[in-house]
Structures are given as structure tokens and as C-alpha cells.
């Protein structure tokens, strides 16, 4: 049986769902090893908290396990993400929790920033077809085949639109009328996408190089200057969420620093929105993404018709699955 998957391979986090189960993990890849690790909490870990995957004789830690266990780990923020095979590694790692058989068939909806849709065919070709991978469960390797017979690449923020106006089966739940703008604030980019009477309008859509990484840069600079701490972006994830950092065993509250960085990011995003759109023309503005959640307190009061989407971090991947069910709806009938 072919499984339909909504998969958002973000610069910051990977989000994936089959409609029954969903996962999210940092977009971090590191070199793998088979040295024993011991964790008394192993039985309580999510499957994506302990991701290790073998692809073509290479072994990788992915997500949180890469941050913990890899001597060399990185988050690829390059424009095309073609410097290494990280994109493929993240893609197949996201599918691995859904591999319950020796052969696992998938059809996948995924997305790209609106001004990078020229890379769609390349992305599809990089992941489509059959691939043997080794997955590890409690340290034990199991070789499985992933068979992706179709990949549809869409403008990234359409996932947010579909998550609002379609249900999980791809059925319309709300009238698709008027002009809707999606403000999808991700880790590296912000996408502005316009949809009029249910139709995506490329000429009114734009990608700008603003995102959580912009705020992270300010926070990292503060930590380096104040405490002499050099932090990679993936090290900052938990620090930003908690608003605290440990220095020599002492917990220091940096909530004000984090809030100030997000406020500056929000101002830049608002300037970008008003520079590209006449916002009074829009009937609805949907704010989404992990960055959207972080700047919502500053952005929403400035845009009267704007709303933060439900579960904004996973809105795109949930919308992709809705579109998958609409696009391939007869697949399993």
C-alpha cells in the first residue's frame, strides 16, 4: 500500500506527517558511528530523537542525535542545498519512521520557497525512485527499501493555505473567496504568497532572506560578546525556546535579549510586507512558520486582518498532506 506524506524540509526543522502520526526534528546532519551509547530514558524517546540512518555505505546521525553525538554536525543554509547530500539525508530520515515493511511505497508533497520553484524538478529527481537505507531501532540495524513513485513540489506557503481551507482528506471546509496573503516566516527565509479565489498568484508572491536565523545572529553575537560563548544555530534552538542559558553551572535568563531580537525581526518583516503588498487589498493574512509564531506578538497588532494559523510550525506539512489526499485522492479507493 502506498502511503501519502506531507513533508516540509525546512532550513531549521523538518516536519512530516502521514495524517496519523507527525514528527519534527532539527535539520542537522552529522557523521555517524556505531560506538555504544547508553540512555536510561531510551524507552521514552520519540523515534526522531534518536535518528541514525545508513545511506550508500555512509552512516549519519540526524536531528537531535547529530547535535549530541556527531563530532562534525551542520545545518545547511545554502541557497540550493546542493553542497552535500544533506537534503536527501533529511528527506529519507523523515520517511524512515513510516517504514514498517521491507519495501515501503510513498507519494510525497513537499515545498520550496516561492522564488526557488525553478529548483522543483531537480529536487524531485534527487529523491524520487528506489533507495535502500539502513534504519536503527534501539541500536539494531534494519535494511529497508524506500520506493517514492511520485513527488509533487509546490510553493512552500501553499501548505499553510491548504491547512486552513482544506481538511485532512483534502475536502474544502471554508469558502475559497477573496484575496488571501500568506506570511510564512521560516528559519532562513520569509515567503509572501498571494492566493485569489483559491488560485495561487506567482506575480504577487515573493521570497525574502529574513527568518529566525536573522534573530539568532543577534542572540549569538550577544552571547559571544557578553559571555565568550560561541554557539552554532542548532545550539541556540533550546536556548531561544527556554530564554535561558547555562554558564559555568549558573542559569542566566536572557528572555529580554531574545524578545528584542524577535522584535527587530518583526519590524523588518513588516517593512517587507508593506513594501511588497498593499495590505488593505487583502481579505485575510495568514501568519505561519516557526518564525511566524515567534514574531506574532509584534506583527498581528499591525495588521488588522491577520491571524496566526493553528499550530503554525507544522501548518505547511499538514497542508501538503491535505493536498496529497486531494491530488491523489483515488489512490487507495
Residues 142, 190 within the same domain: no
> d(Cα 319, Cα 157) in Å, to the nearest integer?
9
> d(Cα 183, Cα 291) in Å, to the nearest integer?
10
| pLDDT per residue as tens digits for the range 22-41 | 999 999 999 998 787 766 56
Choose the weakest-confidence range: 35-39, 91-95, 252-256, 295-299: 35-39
Work out whether the CA dihedral 142, 10, 245, 296 comes out positive or negative. negative
Question: In this structure, is residue 292 part of a structural domain?
Answer: yes
> d(Cα 82, Cα 77) in Å, to the nearest integer?
10
Question: In this structure, is residue 14 part of a structural domain?
Answer: yes
Q: Mean pLDDT over all residues of the chain?
A: 92
| pLDDT per residue as tens digits for the range 236-285 | 999 999 999 999 889 999 999 999 999 999 999 999 999 999 999 999 99
Question: In this structure, is residue 287 part of a structural domain?
Answer: yes
Residues 188, 306 within the same domain: yes
Q: For the beta carbon of residue 65, count every other beta carbon within 10 angstroms.
A: 25
Residues 142, 246 within the same domain: no
Strand partners of residue 284: 180
Residues 252, 137 within the same domain: no
Of 271, 260, 262, 152, residue with least CA distance to 208: 271
Question: In this structure, is residue 324 part of a structural domain?
Answer: no
> d(Cα 30, Cα 39) in Å, to the nearest integer?
20
Residues 207, 288 within the same domain: yes
Q: Residue 310 has what DSSP assignment?
A: S
Predicted pLDDT of residue 48 = 86
Question: In this structure, is residue 202 part of a structural domain?
Answer: yes
On the question of pLDDT at 43 being above 90, the answer is no
> d(Cα 250, Cα 77) in Å, to the nearest integer?
32
| pLDDT per residue as tens digits for the range 134-170 | 998 777 899 999 999 999 999 999 999 999 999 988 9
Q: Residue 309 has what DSSP assignment?
A: P
Work out whether the CA dihedral 164, 165, 170, 173 comes out positive or negative. positive
Q: Is 176 helix (H, G, I), strand (E, B) or coil?
A: coil
Question: Cell 528527506 belongs to which residue?
Answer: 91
Question: In this structure, is residue 326 part of a structural domain?
Answer: no
Question: Cell 522564488 belongs to which residue?
Answer: 115
Q: For the beta carbon of residue 58, count every other beta carbon within 10 angstroms.
A: 11
Q: How many domains does the chain have?
A: 2
Predicted pLDDT of residue 138 = 72
Residues 16, 137 within the same domain: yes
Strand partners of residue 123: none
Domain that holds residue 120: 2-155
Residues 228, 297 within the same domain: yes
Residues 141, 226 within the same domain: no
Q: For the beta carbon of residue 141, count every other beta carbon within 10 angstroms.
A: 13
Residues of the chain above pLDDT 70, percent: 95
Predicted pLDDT of residue 132 = 96
Residues 151, 179 within the same domain: no
Residues 180, 87 within the same domain: no
What CATH number has the domain bearing residue 76? 3.30.420.40
Question: In this structure, is residue 132 part of a structural domain?
Answer: yes
On the question of pLDDT at 332 being above 50, the answer is no
Residues 132, 263 within the same domain: no
Question: In this structure, is residue 285 part of a structural domain?
Answer: yes
| pLDDT per residue as tens digits for the range 205-248 | 999 999 999 999 999 999 999 999 999 999 999 999 999 999 98
Work out whether the CA dihedral 312, 313, 315, 316 comes out positive or negative. positive
Residues 133, 259 within the same domain: no
> d(Cα 4, Cα 322) in Å, to the nearest integer?
10
Residues of the chain above pLDDT 90, percent: 82
Task: State the alpha helices, DSSP H only, in 31-96.
Answer: 64-69, 86-95
Predicted pLDDT of residue 333 = 45
Residues 142, 107, 319: CA angle, nearest 5 degrees: 115
On the question of pLDDT at 83 being above 80, the answer is no
Amino acid at each position: 500500500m502506498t502511503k501519502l506524506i506531507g513533508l516540509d524540509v525546512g532550513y531549521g526543522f523538518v516536519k512530516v506527517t502521514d495524517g496519523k502520526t507527525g514528527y519534527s526534528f532539527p535539520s542537522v546532519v552529522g557523521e555517524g558511528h556505531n560506538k555504544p551509547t547508553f540512555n536510561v530514558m531510551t524507552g521514552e524517546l520519540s523515534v526522531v530523537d534518536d535518528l541514525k540512518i545508513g545511506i550508500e555505505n555512509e552512516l549519519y546521525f540526524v536531528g537531535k542525535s547529530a547535535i549530541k553525538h556527531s563530532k562534525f554536525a551542520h545545518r545547511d543554509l545554502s541557497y540550493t542545498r546542493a553542497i552535500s547530500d544533506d537534503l536527501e539525508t533529511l528527506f529519507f530520515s523523515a520517511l524512515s519512521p513510516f517504514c514498517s515493511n521491507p519495501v515501503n511505497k510513498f507519494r510525497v508533497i513537499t515545498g520550496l520557497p516561492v522564488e526557488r520553484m525553478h529548483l522543483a524538478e531537480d529536487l524531485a529527481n534527487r529523491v524520487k525512485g528506489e533507495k535502500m537505507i539502513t534504519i536503527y531501532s534501539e541500536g539494531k540495524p534494519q535494511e529497508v527499501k524506500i520506493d517514492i513513485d511520485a513527488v509533487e513540489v509546490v510553493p512552500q506557503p501553499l501548505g499553510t493555505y491548504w491547512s486552513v481551507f482544506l481538511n485532512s482528506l483534502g475536502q474544502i471546509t471554508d469558502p475559497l473567496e477573496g484575496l488571501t496573503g500568506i506570511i510564512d516566516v521560516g528559519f532562513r527565509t520569509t515567503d509572501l504568497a498571494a492566493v485569489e479565489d483559491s488560485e495561487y498568484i506567482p506575480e504577487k508572491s515573493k521570497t525574502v532572506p529574513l527568518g529566525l536565523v536573522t534573530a539568532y545572529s543577534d542572540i549569538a553575537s550577544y552571547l559571544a560578546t557578553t559571555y565568550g560563548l560561541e554557539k552554532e544555530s542548532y545550539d541556540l534552538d533550546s536556548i531561544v525556546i527556554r530564554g535561558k542559558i547555562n554558564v559555568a553551572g549558573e542559569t542566566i535568563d536572557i528572555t529580554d535579549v531574545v524578545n528584542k531580537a524577535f522584535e527587530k525581526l518583526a519590524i523588518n518583516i513588516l517593512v517587507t510586507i508593506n513594501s511588497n503588498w498593499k495590505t488593505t487589498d487583502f481579505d485575510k493574512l495568514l501568519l505561519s512558520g516557526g518564525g511566524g509564531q515567534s514574531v506574532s506578538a509584534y506583527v498581528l497588532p499591525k495588521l488588522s486582518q491577520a491571524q496566526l494559523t493553528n499550530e503554525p510550525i507544522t501548518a505547511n506539512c499538514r497542508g501538503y498532506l491535505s493536498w496529497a489526499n486531494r491530488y491523489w485522492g483515488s489512490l487507495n479507493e
